[in-house]
Structure 1
């Protein structure tokens, strides 16, 4: 079963974090990705650019509206994702507990409904 681990945490610039904290965070994420890879469960992972670089589309009065910058006005933003393939939710929780943002933000576990394999939609099982 595929689960996406959505990593939410406060956005900070490299200057706000400082070089030491930035390096520590990069090591933590690299170690976590290696753990998932070695366990054979990692499908993909991404650290996202700051939410200020996002573009959000929505429909307002029948017209598509394009909005630059973060859509959510919150302290924590979606900072990255990992897609894993594990037997069940308990296994997903076990890997999510190891994600670095558990210490400074939150990790949302969301099961996939369908995914694409060789161009065809497949149910998540």
Structure 2
């Protein structure tokens, strides 16, 4: 099993969710986060003043999938999140040693569905 974390632009959430649902992934955790990458934030100008916003608002999507769903899930996230502009985000894939459904006690891949 793998945990996929994707940092995306907030307005792309519905597109990513739709793409994941198309391949049968129905559950995800979404958190509001802030961060910056190579761009280092923004420097908007308002009448008479310029100031720097150090952190840009993003969303973090977390899903856990079986090993055979990883590449399909990554492609779905790429399709839904990509705008072609700076700041589209990142995808991280991490190993998951165990998953347990609290309600039933099921474990492993059975706990994911």
Aligned to 1:56: none
Structure 2: 5+ residue stretches without partners: 36-54
Equivalents in 2 of 1:93, 1:32: separation in Å?
10
Q: Give the CA deviation at 1:115.
A: 1.3
Which structure 1 segments of 5+ residues have no match? 10-21, 52-74
More strand by share: 1
Following the alignment from structure 2 to structure 1, what is the Cα–Cα distance between the partners of residues 83 and 5?
11
Deviations along 1:82-113, whole A, 9 cap, x unmatched? Answer: 31535243323323422526852211122422
RMSD: 3.7
Partners of 1:115 and 1:91 lie apart in 2 by 20
Q: How many residues align?
A: 87
Partner of 1:57: none
2:5 match: 6
TM-score, normalisation: structure 2: 0.51
The corresponding residue for 2:61 is: 81
Offset from partner CA, 1:40-84 (integer Å, 9 cap, x none): 113213032447xxxxxxxxxxxxxxxxxxxxxxx7898412315
TM-score after normalising by structure 1: 0.47
Runs of 4+ in 1 over 3 A off after TM superposition: 75-79
For residue 109 of structure 1, the aligned residue among 78, 93, 96 is: 93
Equivalent in the alignment of 1:42: 26
